[in-house]
Structure 1
């Protein structure tokens, strides 16, 4: 099951990378997961597949906290909406997530994998005349036994 989900996410990311409809960007980000108050770092690629619509494959690694280690692989869709303010856009987020957890307990360790959904929104500010922009996202990551809020702040470079 785990291999099937990862293969599906990678295939969807590959299709997105071949789309050639529009712009694409690469970003670095800091994340905060609410379930165990875990901080993390990540990377995101955004590929425009239609006007205002882009896909965003993403990887997040959370630093070990309270004996729990976690990483996520996400594939989100974002629909970009201009606000009328120069360089400022908002976008709803919907997508799939695969999460891998390992927890060190008193009598050994436990590992579990979850597949779920992401739902949320984001905002980005494009610096005028520059390929650099800043973004922030807030989403709910819906997983069996591990639903949490994920806050993201990042910077990206548009190619």
Structure 2
């Protein structure tokens, strides 16, 4: 697992430095559903490195469910594949940091909240649907691989060109 993580970090660094060019950028907001964490909200920024490759840093917060809340910070790469005039699909791969908090104080006096953060590997796919020249709707499904805790995340959002 550690060798895979080091390989992915090196690969991401090489891609970002060797193909970096001025490209399109966009800001987006999304609603997420994690199969273990419940509902979450997120914000993301997209930057086109090449015609077919973009990077997407993102922050997501998952609301408290069964005394646990979670947030994650991710950097995903998308390889864009136009399939129709207004539809683009993409596989995604990336790295992130996930932090979960158990809200044990809610159980009563004498309890303390406990947090734990770990590195995550993201694998999945998504689709963009061009609504206008500056607005896209987005659907995404990704699997977050986290040591001792994995989750499937379904996201839906809107992205605005900058």
TM-score by length of 2: 0.82
Q: Say whether residues 1:111 and 2:110 are aligned partners.
A: no
* In structure 2, distance between residues paired with 1:57 and 1:111: 23
Greater Rg by CA: 2
Does 2:95 correspond to 1:96? yes
Residue aligning to 1:22: 23
Alignment: residue pair count: 142
Secondary structure of residue in 2 paired with 1:108: coil
CA RMSD of superposed structures (Å) = 1.8
Stretches of structure 2 that go unaligned for 5 or more consecutive residues are: 1-8
Runs of 4+ in 1 over 3 A off after TM superposition: 105-108
- Give the Cα separation in 1 of the matches to 2:21 and 2:124: 26
The answer to whether the 8 Å contact 1:26/1:44 transfers is yes
Which residue number in structure 1 is paired with residue 6 of structure 2? none
| 1:2-151 matched pairs, under 5 angstroms | 19-36=20-37, 38-83=38-83, 85-105=84-104, 106=107, 107-128=111-132, 130-151=133-154
Q: 2:158 aligns with which of 127, 150, 155?
A: 155
Per the alignment, in what secondary structure is the counterpart of residue 55 of structure 2? strand
The runs of 5 or more residues in structure 1 that have no matched partner are 1-7
For 1:100, what is the secondary structure of its paired residue?
strand
Contact residue 75 and residue 96 of structure 2 kept, 8 A? yes
